[in-house]
Amino acid sequence: MISWGNIFTLALGLIGSASAYTNPIRNPGGGDPQITYTGGYYYLISTEWTNLQLSRATTIEGLKTATPKVIYTDSDPSRSSNVWAPELHYLGGKWYIYYTAGKSEDLTGQRSHVIKGGASPWDSWSYGAKLSDDWGIDGTILRTNQFGNYFVYSCMTGVQYQSTCIRKLGSDFLSVGALSIISQPDQSWEKSGTPVQEGPNALYFGGKTYISYSANYCWTPDYCVALLEWDGKTDPAKASAWKKSNGCVLKSANGSYGTGHNSFFQSPDGKQTFITFHATSNKNGACDDTRYAMTQPLTANADGTPNFGAVQPFSHQFAEPSR
């Protein structure tokens, strides 16, 4: 005998599962992840070491089984290895990917590069430029109405430790201006393993502009996400324009360690902000391909500032981003 009640319950369960996702989104190989939504698709990109790859799906859950597409491989030995931290950015009607790459022998040759695409991230890509000659990793784009666009990355030029560095982005999106250091790892909670600031990413939330970054050495469980808040009026290339958070805003929890190198994206309807980050099950932290990619929504504190919450366990079901 057919039980319509059981069928109805099953249908509700299927609807619920279709509109929800669980972490991790990519495991393994989820280091330095970024999710971007455009044209009806979520695009996932992360560190692949020897090339650049994109996956896409119409849901976050669908990214887990999406087949990666190799979009760029470089034969130049000065930039064909240790390909890290790629990020998609839409500028001037075209897509660009800013990334780090270097030589195979060691990490002293790590430099910031950019490739240029077309109207869709799924279009073909070609090499654009090396952005600067100084050692630098984890580049991203900061947008401001008053002062224009900036390239923000982690560098060690003129300082002892990896710091948050900034250069004005050229109108061609392939060149940058003079270097400024806007933040250094000078607090005790940024010095586990070795003092580090890396993996910057811009966050626009509640009418304010922030730069998130990863603090501490990645081979420690203390690797975490921290924030710089812009005052909204001073040139972003000045250190005085930025106020550092009092500690980590996202850190190891619920079996995920070394939570960091994050990015942000908006839901299709623009009403939600999500953070995407990597973590590891290694209690000592990790910098290698054992890292997995996770994503979860931010909420707002009473004063309108972002609340990152705690990293949730794999069993936690999140609603798909609102449409």
Cα separation, 39 vs 43, in Å, equals 10
Q: Which of 32, 61, 87, 138 is catalytic?
A: 32
Burial annotation 101-129 (CB, 10 A radius, 16+ → b, else e): bbbeeeeebbbbbbbbbeeebbeebeebb
- Our CA angle for 309, 315, 317, nearest 5°, is 65
Q: Which of 138, 190, 198, 222 is catalytic?
A: 198
Cα separation, 94 vs 147, in Å, equals 21
* Catalytic residue flag (residue 32): yes
Across the beta sheet with 273-280, the strand order is 257-266, 273-280, 292-297
Cα separation, 163 vs 198, in Å, equals 7
* Catalytic residue flag (residue 198): yes
Cα separation, 142 vs 180, in Å, equals 14
Q: Are 211 and 225 in contact (CB under 8 A)?
A: no
Residue partners of 79: CB distance under 8 A and separation at least 6: 101, 102, 103, 111, 113, 130
Q: Are 268 and 36 in contact (CB under 8 A)?
A: no
The residue written with tokens 């869709």 in the block is 120
Cα separation, 120 vs 69, in Å, equals 14
Q: Which residues are catalytic?
A: 32, 198
